[in-house]
């Protein structure tokens, strides 16, 4: 059983689709399983899905799920915290397709809360289940996808299959399928072009960005996952 887990906008979709083309796993029909840790059941050996820590009520719920499913392994997706935040703010902004509603994690407070929850679950999880969790940096995946996927396959003890390195060809998330026609390396280092990314969206929102970048959780994530901070 394999679960791609993290907070949203961390590369979980593209990481998931790498493994939908591995013949060992059987992916869920819909990419994300929001009820994964709530059912109190033992899942099939070859179950494959992604999940968001946002939908996990508390760490005990996650712990119980992992104990009941001893065969479950976790790929914990992360990306540069600055880029992570920018993506959350921009993708979750009020738009027509969103019914002009802002996403819970698209404000400073919401983003901080979401990342903090993810981090707290992660920190306890790697203590309780150190051999069943592998951190995957989105940057590593996008920069050299074949090398990274082969490394993950080795950790999982499964055979690498060539189609695993073309996840962009089968993105099931409609919005992402329309955006990503190739492996999109432009999502790396967004924060270095803060004035121009997303058609200049953040050029007039620098106070919001600075507040978020300087928040305790963002600085903690930078240190935890060993990211550079040169602006």
For residue 94, tell me if it sits in a domain: yes
Per residue of the chain (231 residues), give pLDDT as tens: 999 999 999 999 999 999 999 999 999 999 999 999 999 999 999 999 999 999 999 999 999 999 999 999 999 999 999 999 999 999 999 988 878 899 999 999 999 999 999 999 999 999 999 999 999 999 999 999 999 999 999 999 999 999 999 999 988 766 655 666 689 899 999 999 999 999 999 999 999 999 999 999 999 999 999 999 876
Residue 128 lies in a domain: yes
pTM summary value: 0.94
The reported pLDDT for the residue numbered 230 is: 77
Domain that holds residue 137: 2-224
Q: Are 225 and 78 in contact (CB under 8 A)?
A: yes
Phi-psi region of 99 (alpha: psi -120 to 50; beta: other; left: phi over 0): left
Residue 113 in any domain: the answer is yes
Q: Is residue 231 included in any domain, yes or no?
A: no
Helix, strand, coil percentages for the chain (3-state, nearest 5): 50, 15, 35
Q: How far apart are CA 143 and CA 141, in angstroms?
A: 6
**Residue 158 belongs to a domain:** yes
Structural domain includes residue 164: yes
Torsion of CA 5, 8, 12, 14, to 10 degrees: 170
**Count of domains for the chain:** 1
Task: Return the SS3 of 133.
Answer: strand
């Amino acid at each position: 059983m394999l679960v791609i887990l993290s907070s949203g906008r961390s590369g979980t979709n593209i990481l998931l689709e790498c493994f939908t083309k591995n013949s060992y796993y059987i992916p869920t029909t819909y990419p994300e399983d929001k009820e994964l840790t709530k059912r109190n059941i033992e899942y099939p050996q070859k179950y494959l899905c992604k999940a968001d820590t946002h939908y996990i009520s508390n760490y005990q719920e996650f712990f119980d799920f992992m104990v009941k499913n001893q065969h479950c392994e976790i790929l914990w997706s992360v990306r540069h915290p600055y880029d992570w935040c920018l993506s959350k703010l921009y993708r979750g902004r009020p738009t027509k397709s969103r019914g002009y509603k802002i996403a819970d994690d698209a404000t400073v407070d919401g983003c901080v809360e979401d990342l903090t929850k993810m981090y707290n679950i992660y920190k306890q999880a790697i203590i309780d289940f150190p051999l069943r969790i592998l951190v995957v940096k989105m940057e590593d995946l996008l920069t050299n996808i074949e090398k990274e996927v082969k490394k993950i396959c080795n950790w999982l003890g499964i055979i690498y299959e060539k189609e695993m390195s073309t996840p962009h060809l089968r993105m099931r998330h409609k919005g992402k399928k329309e955006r990503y026609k190739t492996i999109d390396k432009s999502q790396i280092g967004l924060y270095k072009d803060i004035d121009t990314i997303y058609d200049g969206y953040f050029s007039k929102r620098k106070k919001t960005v600075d507040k978020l970048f300087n928040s305790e959780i963002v600085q903690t994530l930078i240190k935890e996952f060993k990211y550079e901070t040169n602006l």
